[in-house]
Structure 1
Amino acid sequence: MDPAEINAIAIKQPPFWIHHLRTWFGQAEVQFQLKNISADATMFYHIVSLLDKETAARVDDLIHNPLVESKYPALKKLLLGTFGLSPQQRASRLLHLDGLGNRTPSALMDEMLGLAEDHYPCFLFHQIFLEQMPEVIQLLLADEDFMDPCRVATTFWCTKRENEAALSQVARPRTSRLQHSPKHKLEAHNSTWCFYHQRWGAQDHKCQQPCDYQGK
């Protein structure tokens, strides 16, 4: 058996990801590199073996009538063209994102970069990203340099979380003191009462004249 074929058997490739084809092919090609596999036919037949039946049926003609050369590039191009998003679809998804949701900013940035594919993020990309953020994060990121978009998304989210944690630590003792302060049942406020009866009502044992308090 050819050494390349033996290496192909040892490849551990995840199940076929029809909704993340670029990532899936990227992982497959990393495996080919690690196993020193470069034979066109080996890569072609390895990918074919991983397709589910519905996907294989869509590329049936190429499987049964493969090219003499460049089998693997032709299969990859056909699969990406058949199941991948078109440029118009990717642009539409970028323009109609539904906010941050329960994701972190870095997860949203990864999704947006995946939709942009090989296009370098421009000022419109930056603005789309900012508009998905809560207002407090938008203010933090407004003047930031987006030369490294992933770093921007990660750094400021961590900063926000740290600031929130610090503020909660400062506020907690104050809340605790309020919760354990003496509680007094006050009677209805009357501007003709003295300070002590206005403050303590029936609990007061000290009165300052003039005072019209008529309690027990």
Structure 2
Amino acid sequence: MSLANPNQQNNSVTAAVAVKLPDFWKSDPTMWFAQAEAQFALAGVVQDETKYYHIISKIDQSIISHVSDLVQNPPKEEKYKQVKERLISRFEVSPQAKLEQLLNACDLGDMRPSHLLARMQELGSGLKISESVMRVLFVQRMPERVKPILSICDGNSLEQLAQMADKMVEISSPAVASASTLPGLGLEELQEQIATLTAEVRRLKTSSPRSRSSSRVRQTGTPADTVCWYHRKYGRNARQCREPCAFNVPKN
């Protein structure tokens, strides 16, 4: 009776612990297998059968039907290779589909520009797209406020261009968001809003009805926080009024 080599047993246990693959990526099988092979290399997994079982263990029910014959009747040789080739052929996006996504369905959205570039380069891999064409496609997908600056940066690489775009989008976004909250407001309207907020703060702070005030509105006996900005500022001389306004205009 022959005993198994203790070193071989230890190596098998170590490999089983060290290799922790994520679930199979249907959207990018080639990169998933690249990661699997990197883990196999780090863990010292070289046996074809061991690789095969690691892969099969990470295939869920919706995918395993595509390799059911290889699972039920494993080939005697090259088990791992055959499973790999089958899964890649079934789930890898075709070059035509990648090109269509690159041209029509690859937008910035809420991504950072550098992340968008990485996604575009991934889709463009194997399509023989030149850097100049990729640069044009990348700039086209940038916000309007960023495009003019990137368009004149001819001496920068695509990666440098994406880093610049990251900084510009990060810096300009808060200002743009703040400006977009006040669409179409003129100077008088802004002043009115500020005056209303100021009056509200004053009302909350003041507990005595005898607080100091020199406004013409107070002289009429009407609370300042119930009149519009025009009557608050000009009193009876106001030529405009914005409702709701409780200012009492004396009748002739």
TM-score by length of 1: 0.68
Identify which of 103, 110, 117 aligns with 1:109. 117
**Amino acid aligned to 1:128:** L
Residue-by-residue CA offset, 1:166-186 (whole Å, 9 max, x unaligned): 8999xxxxx9x9536995549
**Amino acid aligned to 2:12:** E
Deviation at 1:91, TM superposition (A): 0.9
Identity across matched positions, percent: 27
Distance 2:93 2:65 in 1: 19
**Structure-2 residue corresponding to 1:124:** 133
**Amino acid aligned to 2:111:** R
Deviation at 1:26, TM superposition (A): 2.5
Aligned pairs, number? 187
Residue-by-residue CA offset, 1:13-36 (whole Å, 9 max, x unaligned): 112221232332222122112212
Instruction: Please say if 1:144 is aligned against 2:170.
Output: no
**Amino acid aligned to 1:44:** Y
Do the aligned partners of 2:108 and 2:116 also contact (CA within 8 Å) in 1? yes
- Going from structure 1 to structure 2, the CA distance change for 1:54 and 1:161 (only over 3 Å counts) comes to closer
Do the aligned partners of 2:139 and 2:151 also contact (CA within 8 Å) in 1? yes
**Structure-1 residue corresponding to 2:12:** 5
2:114 alignment partner, SS class: helix
Deviation at 1:85, TM superposition (A): 0.4
- Going from structure 1 to structure 2, the CA distance change for 1:100 and 1:60 (only over 3 Å counts) comes to same
Aligned Cα root-mean-square deviation (Å): 3.5
Distance 2:39 2:127 in 1: 25
**Structure-1 residue corresponding to 2:97:** 89
Distance 1:4 1:62 in 2: 26
Residue-by-residue CA offset, 1:98-137 (whole Å, 9 max, x unaligned): 5322222122222212212345652222222222221122
Structure 2 unmatched ranges of 5 or more: 1-7, 179-186, 199-214, 216-228, 239-251
**Structure-2 residue corresponding to 1:209:** none
Distance 2:121 2:115 in 1: 10
Q: Which runs of 4+ in 1 moved over 4 A?
A: 1-4, 118-121, 145-148, 163-169, 180-184, 199-204
Distance 2:14 2:170 in 1: 46
**Structure-1 residue corresponding to 2:48:** 40
Distance 1:144 1:6 in 2: 54
**Amino acid aligned to 1:100:** L
Identify which of 31, 35, 43 aligns with 1:27. 35
1:153 alignment partner, SS class: helix
Do the aligned partners of 1:8 and 1:46 also contact (CA within 8 Å) in 2? no
Distance 1:67 1:92 in 2: 40
Residue-by-residue CA offset, 1:149-198 (whole Å, 9 max, x unaligned): 344223322134235668999xxxxx9x9536995549xxxxxxxxxxxx
Deviation at 1:141, TM superposition (A): 1.6
Decide which moves more: 119-128 or 57-66.
119-128
Do the aligned partners of 2:99 and 2:127 also contact (CA within 8 Å) in 1? no
**Structure-2 residue corresponding to 1:134:** 143
